[in-house]
Structure 1
Amino acid sequence: MVPIDPRPNAGAVPRGEPVSWHDPHIVEFDLRPLSLGDRSLESVLRARRSSRILSEAPIEDVAFAIRETLRAHFVGVAAKHGRKLKAVVSSGALHPVMGVLLGRDVRPIVYDDISDRFLSVGARDPQQLNAFLKNCRKVLPEANGHWIALVADIRDLSRLYSDHQSLLWRDAGAVIQAMAMVAEARDLAFCPLGILGQQVVDALLPSASGLVAVGVVAIGRRGIHQNAS
């Protein structure tokens, strides 16, 4: 592999185009009682482990971990349109990575960082969605929590940068690391799967949507016996 540095494209500006989700409905979670707690950063950093054995946590806890990782503290307007300020780092403040929460008994739930809302969305291709869930269970057979598929909107990223791929993977890794820290602070089990999860994109979005899968993680309650990594 020959590394190629990304380069900004002169004069290009983000458009912040909406994503075409199928049959979206707002989902209300009461996250007000939840917080990151009072553990020190040192405690969270030293305690973090990947947990391959986990059980289902309350969906509100999982939603909190997604929102705390991905919520925007500032959404740009006018000259700053398409850019956001978040706790997690991102190239050009574009923050292309979003989270899709998947469980056994609910429709896929997307966190919209512009409106700071969760949206239940329909599957355009249920077979692809079932194939994704089967693949997750194959990778982590003892994980019975929720899956979070990370999906990136590369339309602005590819418009603003040539050879943008390294920025995409950097941003995806930053989101996974930040979400792992949030999960640990909430005493939740967390494990990245090492798969991309493209079947989620194929299931939920039309072709040529400009979105790609960049990773999958599991979140739940800790199991009794685990191998840490």
Structure 2
Amino acid sequence: MLPIPADPAPRGFIDVLRSRRSAVGGPVELDRVAELLWHAVATKGHAPAGRAGLPVEWRAAPSAGALHPISVVCIPESAKGAFLYDPREHAFRTLDVDSGHIAAANAAALVAVVGATRGCTLRLLADMDKADAAYEHAATLVLRDSGCLIATLCLCAEWLGLAACPLGFLGQGMVGKLGFPEPRFRAVGGVQVTSFR
């Protein structure tokens, strides 16, 4: 389990809204990314059954039926590996992947869309089996969940003095490389987190 971060110095929400812009800055430490994930993604409460009898959770970002079928995979700019964020335990789980290969594939995708590889990439992967168990035509709901999660991550990053840039790809080519079975898991976007611009 990662340390629970202290709340940062108070900052008004209107200031966060007025200041937030998509940007790519410099390198960022993984502990800062963990702090961001605590505020934006960590589970604040849960229940064993909700929509369709599936477990439900409460987090800062809304999700259809409180299912939260989207996982966050962190890929730091250095070839240190790839980590699955565990929102209930506030922990990083190391993925058993070829770190160098993942770093190179991720860097190529980043250069194509933002022209830089600094920071930490947060890739969003949706468990379609979970969403499909509760909804017909769940793909649109998963994309809405992804948009809510991306917005929450970007606003929290600004609040914490970090830069964040939504990425212009879904990223399906990385799903299998990260060890997630297809077609059960579908890539639904990402955010590049960096130090302040």
Q: TM-score, normalised by structure 1?
A: 0.77
Q: What residue is the counterpart of 2:55 in the other structure?
A: 82
Which digits, 9 at most, give the CA deviation of each residue in 1:92-134, with x for residues without a partner?
Answer: 1101112111111311011112333211111179646632331
The one of 87, 92, 95 equivalent to 1:113 is 87
Q: 3-state SS of the aligned residue for 2:177?
A: helix
Q: Per chain length, whose mean CA-contact separation is higher, i.e. which structure has more relative contact order (CA < 8 Å, sep 6+)? A: 1
Report the aligned-residue RMSD.
2.2
**Identity score, percent:** 26
Q: What residue is the counterpart of 2:21 in the other structure?
A: 49
Q: Aligned runs of 1:55-66 on 2, under 5 Å? A: 55-66=26-37
Unaligned runs of 5+ in 1: 1-27, 224-229
Which residue identity is paired with 2:37? Answer: I
Q: How many residues align?
A: 194
Q: 3-state SS of the aligned residue for 1:42?
A: helix
Which residue identity is paired with 1:74? Answer: G
Q: 3-state SS of the aligned residue for 1:134?
A: helix
- In 1, Cα distance between equivalents of 2:63 and 2:161: 26
- In 1, Cα distance between equivalents of 2:160 and 2:55: 31
- In 2, Cα distance between equivalents of 1:175 and 1:207: 22
- In 2, Cα distance between equivalents of 1:138 and 1:47: 26
The one of 43, 53, 77 equivalent to 1:72 is 43
Unaligned runs of 5+ in 2: none
Deviation at residue 42 of structure 1 after TM alignment: 0.8
Q: In 2 relative to 1, CA 59–30 (structure 1 residues): closer, same or farther, beyond 3 Å?
A: same
Q: What residue is the counterpart of 1:97 in the other structure?
A: 70
Question: 4+ residue stretches of structure 1 with deviation over 6 A?
Answer: none
Which digits, 9 at most, give the CA deviation of each residue in 1:3-38, with x for residues without a partner?
Answer: xxxxxxxxxxxxxxxxxxxxxxxxx54343x42430
Once the two structures are overlaid, the 10-residue window that deviates more, 168-177 or 211-220, is: 211-220
Q: What residue is the counterpart of 1:139 in the other structure?
A: 113
The one of 199, 212, 218 equivalent to 2:192 is 218
- In 2, Cα distance between equivalents of 1:139 and 1:133: 10
- In 1, Cα distance between equivalents of 2:98 and 2:166: 26
- In 1, Cα distance between equivalents of 2:99 and 2:15: 43
Deviation at residue 81 of structure 1 after TM alignment: 4.6
- Which structure has the larger Rg over C-alpha atoms? 1
Which residue identity is paired with 1:194? Answer: G
- In 2, Cα distance between equivalents of 1:81 and 1:163: 17
Which residue identity is paired with 1:159? Answer: A
Determine if contact 1:57/1:220 at 8 Å carries over to the other structure.
Answer: yes
Q: TM-score, normalised by structure 2?
A: 0.88
Determine if contact 1:137/1:143 at 8 Å carries over to the other structure.
Answer: yes
- In 2, Cα distance between equivalents of 1:105 and 1:135: 15
Deviation at residue 206 of structure 1 after TM alignment: 4.7
Determine if contact 2:121/2:192 at 8 Å carries over to the other structure.
Answer: yes
Q: What residue is the counterpart of 1:18 in the other structure?
A: none
Q: In 2 relative to 1, CA 128–186 (structure 1 residues): closer, same or farther, beyond 3 Å?
A: closer
Deviation at residue 186 of structure 1 after TM alignment: 0.7
Determine if contact 1:83/1:92 at 8 Å carries over to the other structure.
Answer: yes
Deviation at residue 172 of structure 1 after TM alignment: 0.1
